[in-house]
Chain A
């Protein structure tokens, strides 16, 4: 870590609906900022180079890698983590389906997986199983073998399309 990287910068962002102001090292990743500074330990650091998806969070409406995003880049951004999405109930149906189908085992990948799946669901319609698998292929799960996850996402998409009144953010 060089002296330049150790420099700090002021950021102001909205995390899970709450305004946050902080002075962060310019080299600090967003996932570390969320976990270490804000105590939001739901999303996890795992591969730390953008492959596994365990750190997936929602930034300005898109699912992004918290380990490839600098906290400094989030200045002015709207950030949602699994904690906030839980509190608002935005993904309650998806979470319930994960539980009832046991679409998680150790649960380490799950917060990231839910954010990635929600991004697909927010597009509306009922994706094919192949499309679900393709969309989640940036999120690594070593426990489940993926089938129950695909089942859960498919079931939620079907339920939401079937006249469900839910109108989630970005549901276009």
Chain B
């Protein structure tokens, strides 16, 4: 069975075309249904009392005044919830040495970061719950605070969790080849200290959950803004002692996720536990300060790195020492060691070289826990790699594009294994670079830059090649013991009127999952996309699956949908052949009708076939299979991950008097394999780029030395707004993966992976004639002016 993807005129050719998203009209009309839009009879609201200390012993909790507030139903402490909810430990066996202490839904003895839940107040209205929460008196005893990551392992630094022995959560050293020898014999060595700031996702919809427990049925239903409903089903079942079959997680519209909503949050588990205790629906919606102090953070890294090259610019060796602070707990169940681990896996990714050493050191501290956020580790690894490559190119007087051409894996070299031991099935760095240079008219841009410079205007061009990890197999989490599915499934059925319903385990948070699946099912079965109804995000009805993360929706969920659709097509044709006294191989389904494939002549509508199967089955031959529901699952098995690649470019202007960077334009050429919907892919790239630009220029969570988060509002934590963002040109190269019929890899994180490095290189390209360089993100006016020596300190 093959599909002639190369032929745009093939029948039912919906894969590869821009078709509208079926869920978009609902959202533009304000008819979305987000968790906070759902209200149930007898629904109560929970608000949390949160630690104002970064580290403190919890003494007595006096809820007397809180309970006196009108509308308050109940107050829970950590000890109360520990009776119904077991703690968790976020370690994975394949991340050797990773340690983390047991974490409870509500802290019991100690609070370990500002914002950790210490008590919960349940009331009939959110306003009453919030008011009462502010009246709960907690007797705290302040404990020593650890904030600085680089001194977290010093002997004089207090140990946050004495039972663990030290503040080291995880360390991994990877060494390949003769690194010291290569550096010793190199023509040129460049080195720098890079820093990526602590970010958070700032989903516009705050974390939200509404949980109902029906004790009569022993059934829990959670309306949850999550990326991974089945994972949450498993978590609730395990820690609240309920059979998995009695936990239903419904994930309706989700207002942005970006990795933030794929983790287990103590307050959300607490909400479920409280609903179970109280036997009534309980809603929790984080407010914005809670979002800043309790949504996971990410990317808080300091990296010393160096690169050795020969006189022609050929990379000989790379040496990376990465440090990151993850807060007081590794986050359940994915763990907080993955990001550092990714830095080790991804540095140097595009380049063909032999000698590589990378170490990551992951330490505990009294700040908000960090975990996986869009493009996990990629923006860090790409910034390190591309920053060093540009420094080496400048040192040798080689053009940055030429420098990359000399070092990327040739497009005909695959499959290859990188010095980080990543296996690449097929990438297109050379073709992508060629396409980028043409798209941006690189020569003309260099000319414009030179003319501007002559006028005293400092413009810069920055290039960043990158790889992106997508379509993960169980090698990402499953082998370590996490109950996180790398497999995904799809059930496709034909209803009596010939329309089609597909139920998928992957989820939608705005990426266009439903559109992508509708296109695949339409093509796979042979109906028009408007005849396909997609259902996602309900563990009671969809096949078990991992959900949407690590850019797996199209590559994994899409392939399951394609295979299920083709199976349904076969079933339909089997029935049709019996009805038409033909053979399945001599019939086709096109636009909702059984046709003669040679002439295209309609023989039978699906509506008529449906009528016969469902209502006049007596007229079909006895024993004829009539299974108009088909389920297929898909998991990758040849490669642990399907890597994609791409290259980005930034053109910008630096005001050397004010330090302000103005983005003029941005380009990205990327290769996500088979493109299912060009518009949706482009928009994923654009949105991802802007998220990366935020990290490059604005985003930084600040803490003071006491561990207080000091910019916890949208007014103080800056994110990209429309006025500052550039227009973006997006191009594609398509190298389908051979692991699936569909050939799709992921596209959701490429933009974020490469944008910060492109901006950094562009700023440094602009500043180079002035002898200045920046490598600490975000590149604020202050940092740029310091680099220029215009302000001291």
Contact = CB atoms under 8 A, between A and B. Distances in A.
B87 interface: no
B721 A137 contact: yes
Interface residues of B, number: 59
Contact of B29 (A42, A47, A109): A42
Interface stretch (A58-66, A71-79, A144-152, A163-171): A144-152
Nearest to A106: B510
A82 interface: yes
Interface of B: 20-21, 23-34, 36-37, 127, 130-131, 201-206, 253-258, 287-288, 509-512, 679-680, 683, 686-691, 713-715, 719-725, 727-728, 751
A143 B131 contact: no
Given A106-B254, A145-B687, A145-B690, A133 B28 contact: no
B131 A145 contact: no
A107 B510 contact: yes
Contacts of B20: 99-100
A102 B204 contact: no
29 contacts: A1-B127, A40-B30, A42-B31, A45-B36, A46-B204, A46-B288, A51-B714, A81-B30, A95-B28, A99-B20, A102-B679, A102-B680, A106-B253, A106-B509, A107-B26, A108-B253, A110-B27, A137-B721, A138-B721, A140-B719, A142-B202, A142-B204, A142-B687, A143-B256, A143-B687, A145-B688, A145-B690, A145-B725, A147-B727
A1 B131 contact: yes
- The range of chain A's interface size is 35 or more
Given A1-B131, A106-B254, A144 B202 contact: no
A18 to B, nearest CB: 16
Contact of A105 (B202, B683, B725): B683
Given A86-B29, A140-B714, A142-B719, A108 B205 contact: yes
Residue in B21, B24, B203, B713 with the greatest tally of chain A CB atoms within 10 Å: B24
A15 interface: no
B287 A142 contact: no
Given A51-B715, A105-B683, A143-B510, 17 more contacts: A1-B131, A49-B713, A100-B20, A104-B28, A107-B27, A114-B28, A132-B722, A137-B724, A140-B204, A140-B719, A142-B201, A142-B204, A142-B256, A142-B687, A142-B719, A145-B728, A147-B727
A48 B24 CA distance: 25
Nearest to A150: B722
Interface in A76-128: 81-83, 86, 95, 98-102, 104-111, 114
Contact of A46 (B24, B25, B205): B205
B33 to A, nearest CB: 8
Describe A's contact surface by its main secondary structure. loop
A55 B26 CA distance: 17
A83 B686 contact: no
Nearest to B288: A47
Given A133-B723, A140-B714, A142-B256, A105 B510 contact: yes
Contacts of B33: 41
A44 B288 CA distance: 13
Given A95-B29, A102-B24, A149-B722, A54 B204 contact: yes
A148 B686 contact: yes
B715 A49 contact: yes
Contacts of B257: 106
A35 B37 CA distance: 8
A138 B203 CA distance: 16
Contacts of B728: 145, 147
Q: Give the 6 A-B residue pairs with the shortest CB-CB distance, closest first.
A: A42-B30, A107-B27, A108-B255, A105-B510, A106-B510, A145-B690
Given A99-B21, A106-B255, A145-B689, A139 B30 contact: no
B258 A137 contact: no
Contacts of B720: 145-146
B206 A133 contact: no
A41 B348 CA distance: 48
Contacts of A46: 204-206, 255, 288
Nearest to B29: A86
A69 to B, nearest CB: 17
B288 A142 contact: no
A156 interface: no
A153 to B, nearest CB: 10
B30 A111 contact: yes
B374 to A, nearest CB: 10
A104 B26 CA distance: 11
Describe B's contact surface by its main secondary structure. loop
B722 A44 contact: no
Contacts of A95: 25, 28-29
Contacts of B715: 49, 51
Given A48-B287, A102-B680, A137 B723 contact: yes
Interface string A7-46: 0000000000000000001000000000100001111111
Given A47-B288, A51-B715, A108-B205, A134 B723 contact: yes
Contacts of A54: 204
Residue in B29, B255, B287 with the greatest tally of chain A CB atoms within 10 Å: B29
A102 B29 contact: no
B288 A49 contact: yes
B722 A107 contact: no
A47 B202 CA distance: 10
A104 B727 contact: no
Contacts of A134: 722-723
A2 B690 CA distance: 42
Contact of A146 (B510, B714, B725): B725
A107 B725 contact: no
A43 to B, nearest CB: 7
B175 to A, nearest CB: 39
Contacts of B256: 105-106, 108, 142-143
Given A83-B30, A142-B256, A147-B725, A102 B714 contact: no
A70 interface: no
Contact of A44 (B201, B204, B510): B204
Residue in A47, A52, A108 with the greatest tally of chain B CB atoms within 10 Å: A108
Contacts of A107: 23-24, 26-28, 32, 253, 255, 510
A136 interface: yes
Contacts of A106: 27, 204-205, 253-257, 509-510
Nearest to A54: B204
Contacts of B512: 102, 105
A101 B255 CA distance: 19
A14 to B, nearest CB: 18
Contacts of B751: 145
B571 to A, nearest CB: 34
A47 B713 CA distance: 8
Contact of A102 (B21, B509, B690, B721): B21
A86 B164 CA distance: 58
A54 B255 CA distance: 11
B29 A82 contact: yes
A139 B725 CA distance: 13
A99 B18 CA distance: 12
A35 B720 CA distance: 28
A47 to B, nearest CB: 4
A40 B267 CA distance: 27
A52 B287 contact: no
A138 B721 CA distance: 8
Contact of A82 (B30, B205, B254): B30
B687 A49 contact: no
Nearest to B37: A41
B34 A108 contact: yes
Given A86-B29, A105-B510, A137-B721, A147 B205 contact: no
Contacts of A82: 28-30
A148 B689 CA distance: 13
A54 B26 CA distance: 16
A54 B203 CA distance: 12
Residue in A110, A130, A141, A145 with the greatest tally of chain B CB atoms within 10 Å: A145
A48 B584 CA distance: 60
B458 to A, nearest CB: 21
